[in-house]
Chains A and B, each alone.
Chain A
Amino acid sequence: MAVSTGKATAAGGPARGRSDRRGRRRERPGPLRRSLGTHWYAWAMVAPVIAVMLVLIGWPLARGVYLSLTDATEANIGRTIGVNVIPATYEFVGLENYVRILTSAVFWDKLVWTVIWTVVCVALHYGIGLGLAVMLNRRMRFRSVYRVLLILPWAVPAFVAAFIWRYLYNSDYGVINGFLKLAGLDGVGWLDDPTTAKIAVIAVNVWLGVPFMMVALLGGLQSIPADLYEAAEVDGASAWQRFRAITLPGLRQVSTTVVLLGTIWTFNMFPIIFLVTRGGPGSETEILVTYAFREAFTGIRDYSGSAAWGVIILVMLVVLAVGYRRTLRNQGDPW
């Protein structure tokens, strides 16, 4: 569905004006010149974003990587106070930060929990989302009412959700413990125990994330032609067989995209952990991202350590995305 701006007029020679221009350019020799002639407008359109990304992401990224190779902290990073310029005194230390992090127990602890957090959350998002989407895809009464009410959590900003749930979880006045007491059970200190705190943050994130999956998958379901189901039914396929043979393959495109996006978002989900448990008790619910943040901005600010954490996290995500994409491509997806 795209116009090739290259030499090939594979797209069926769409624009007379452009072919003319290309014809004129053909007399000129250099391939770079010609490329510039045919593609300049595409590049011009992309230019603002590239410029912004180079300045705002490229430069800080390069500096972040550099910082991760030094021993910079709040104490030795250069700064300017009034007219006094205090020069930076941090030094290049090579891979020391990385070695220190990768050999520390705390990193592996956090990594294991982050992976559990991501896998459990995305699996629940997808599973519940798919279940609800399939239910909503039936013809029935109140369908649009259900749909509107079910997407409501999506409209709540993450930080507001975090505060709401902190109140619900409150061990003394929280409504969840209120119900438990009503049922004659003891209240639970939800956020005080490592296990329940982990369950608690997962519950918040699932509550917040299911509507997105549901809506995306519902869109996917609606794009599957109904006659496929009719044909299958005529052939005598059971509901489960239809689900496996038509629904799941029909949802592949949507599924792969939302699962990848969901994984990235959950892996980096900052506000929920940061605001619901503040990483506590201890640092039990801290995921890699919030831990790195805390390294950089609490106590003596360890800029280099935090930058190294950031680089490690980013590398993991890029590896994940590349691997994911390769798997998809091997299975014949164009993406």
Chain B
Amino acid sequence: MSTRKRGERGPLASIGLHAGLLLAVGVSLFPVVWLVLTSLKPRDSWLSAELRLFDDSSLANYGRVLTGTEFPRWLLNSVLVAGLTMVIGVFLAATTGYAVSRFRFPGHRSVMWLLLVTQMFPVAILIVPLYNLMAGLGLLNQIPGLVIAYMTIAVPFCAWMMKSYFDTVPIEIDQAGMVDGLTPFGTFWRVVLPLSRPGVAVTAFYCFMTAWGEVGYATVFMSQEDKRTLGVGLQQFVGQHWSDWGLMTASAVLIAIPAGVVFLLVQRHLITGLTAGATKA
């Protein structure tokens, strides 16, 4: 029988633990660090087989990206598309998440299934009919067109996420609200929703990130240069015959760093929101 108390380790186990975690941290950080370093190098350096950490570091690549390419335009498009998708998606899905979390009504199971099954939809199945639909409505190369296409992903996803979050709000709170004479809508709007702000924020954030990172629909729907989103536009920096890794890495940093910073700032909430979702889904 072990006499050691829980949480106590031998020194060897401690070294092993830290070594394992340090290795994992190395793997998780290295690509990002290398990306940043590369973005600071001049052309003859990223086109060289030698490994050098620093080499004439400058912000030249960033200057080229911001002034010499369509990057700012794509950034704006991406922000618009992802922002609209987020707002509309969360707005549409909130009450549904609440209803499937709280009420057992005829059709409840079908709604739950619908939400799950639509998350399985591969791009391939909807993209052709949606493309034809958008073409028919003149919405190709239009931001609203892409937002509409993203609704097919965002709405079921948001409803599912928020359902998981509402599940964690004690039902006694609703009951108290209803005893006080609120309707189910009133309870939702005035009692549960304010309590669920972190959950809504997390859902909104995920929704934004999903739209922000989507490539398939955007590639097909936004063919005009000035309508592209980042995921589409960046592809042209590294084409089949010509690659400018300076432009590529600098723009990747410009995209990843702000997202990463926000992510790390809110990660505590993300984790609560997500695990609430994962354990209750």
Contact = CB atoms under 8 A, between A and B. Distances in A.
Interface of A: 1-6, 11, 14-18, 35, 39, 41-46, 48-50, 52-53, 56-57, 59-61, 63-64, 67, 77, 79-80, 128, 131-132, 135-136, 138-140, 142, 146, 148-161, 163-168, 170, 172-173, 175, 177-179, 181-182, 207, 210-212, 215-216, 218-220, 222-223, 226, 229-230, 233, 236, 253-254, 257-258, 261, 264, 267-268, 270-271, 274-275, 288-289, 292-293, 296-297, 303, 306-307, 309-311, 313-314, 317-318, 321, 335
Nearest to B183: A41
B95 interface: yes
Interface stretch (B45-53, B65-73, B195-203): B45-53
A167 B249 contact: yes
B28 A211 contact: yes
Most chain A CB within a 10 A radius of its CB, from B18, B98, B104, B183: B104
Chain A interface main SS type: helix
A304 to B, nearest CB: 9
13 contacts: A1-B171, A6-B104, A6-B106, A41-B185, A42-B99, A42-B108, A46-B100, A153-B31, A233-B6, A289-B122, A310-B125, A317-B120, A321-B120
Interface in B94-114: 95-96, 98-108, 111, 114
B239 to A, nearest CB: 10
A311 B274 contact: no
Contacts of A153: 28, 31-32
B223 to A, nearest CB: 10
A138 B17 contact: yes
B279 A220 contact: yes
B246 to A, nearest CB: 11
Interface of B: 1-2, 6-7, 9, 14, 17-18, 20-21, 24-25, 27-29, 31-32, 34-35, 38, 46-51, 92-93, 95-96, 98-108, 111, 114-133, 135-136, 148, 151-152, 155-156, 159, 167, 171, 174-175, 178-179, 181, 183-185, 188, 209, 212-216, 219-220, 230-231, 234-235, 238, 245, 248-249, 252, 255-256, 259-260, 263-264, 267, 270-272, 274-275, 278-279, 281
A210 B25 CA distance: 12
Contacts of B116: 321
Contacts of B184: 41-42, 45
A310 B128 CA distance: 10
Contact of A15 (B107, B156, B178): B178
A163 B234 contact: yes
A43 B255 contact: no
B122 A310 contact: yes
B95 A46 contact: yes
Contacts of A173: 46-49, 245
Given A257-B278, A293-B124, A264 B119 contact: yes
B216 to A, nearest CB: 5
A28 to B, nearest CB: 17
B29 A152 contact: yes
A257 B281 contact: yes
Counting chain B CB atoms within 10 Å of each CB, which of A11, A167, A219, A258 scores highest?
A167
A167 B278 contact: no
Contacts of A268: 120-123
Given A3-B103, A48-B96, A220-B278, A149 B25 contact: yes
A167 B244 CA distance: 11
Nearest to A219: B275
Nearest to B249: A167
B104 A5 contact: yes
B32 A309 contact: no
B2 A233 contact: yes
A156 to B, nearest CB: 5
B186 to A, nearest CB: 10
A164 B79 CA distance: 21
Contacts of B47: 172-173
